Amino acid sequence: MTQTSDSQLILQIQDGDTAAFEELFARYRPAIQAHIVRIVREPTATEDLVQEVFLRLWTRAEQWQGSGSVKGWLYRIATNLSLNHLRSVKRRPQQPLEIPTDDGDDDNPVPGWMVDASALTPEVQLEIVEQQKLLGQLINGLPSDKQDVFRMVYDDEMDLHSVANKLKIPEGTVKSRLYHGRKLIAKRLKNRGE
């Protein structure tokens, strides 16, 4: 009996086939878990992130466009989620729970560090939208060859090999365009004082 290809399973998942999802989950869960634990080095977070990777597989299967491998796509999702987790931990380190003391502050018995920082104010949301808009403008200001590579890697989440194949250029050229594009964006941000 031949094994169903990853591409066929993704198409079945797009149609809501739970058996196809379970097969891909069984096929890639150990590898994805090992990949994530190498990045975050935290067993509890690793398990949560593995679940999130496969939740995204189930809920966003239609985002896989058939370019590159399904395995590569899952690794990219896992890497992005892991790096986002590390950034989040860096921004909001865990604090030990303290025993409340009677310091006379009855109006606010909850310490400030326990307030959910993810509940963004309208001002912060506006700032995020403005930053995304600025980044879009900076990418649009890149030479067209670098713009194409940026969009394929960051918007379409294609791996470098797939980008190289699609553009019919060496993978090293893709890396070079990304590198020089990032440098240009960083330089322009620096010139703006941001």
Query: Can you give the pTM of this predicted structure?
Result: 0.48
Range among 114-123, 131-140, 169-178 rated most confident: 169-178
Domain enclosing residue 23, as ranges: 1-94
Q: Does 105 map to a domain?
A: no
Rounded to whole angstroms, the Cα distance separating 46 from 78 reads 10
Q: Does 100 map to a domain?
A: no
Q: Does 30 map to a domain?
A: yes
Encode pLDDT of 92-134 as tens digits. 655 554 444 444 445 555 555 454 545 556 676 677 677 778 8
Number of domains in the chain: 2
Q: Does 68 map to a domain?
A: yes
Rounded to whole angstroms, the Cα distance separating 117 from 148 reads 35
Q: What is the pLDDT of residue 78?
A: 92
The CATH number that applies at residue 3 is 1.10.1740.10
Domain's final residue, options 44, 78, 94? 94
Rounded to whole angstroms, the Cα distance separating 192 from 194 reads 6
Same domain, yes or no: 38 and 84: yes
The CATH number that applies at residue 126 is 1.10.10.10
Asked if 74 and 32 touch (Cβ cutoff 8 Å), the reply is yes
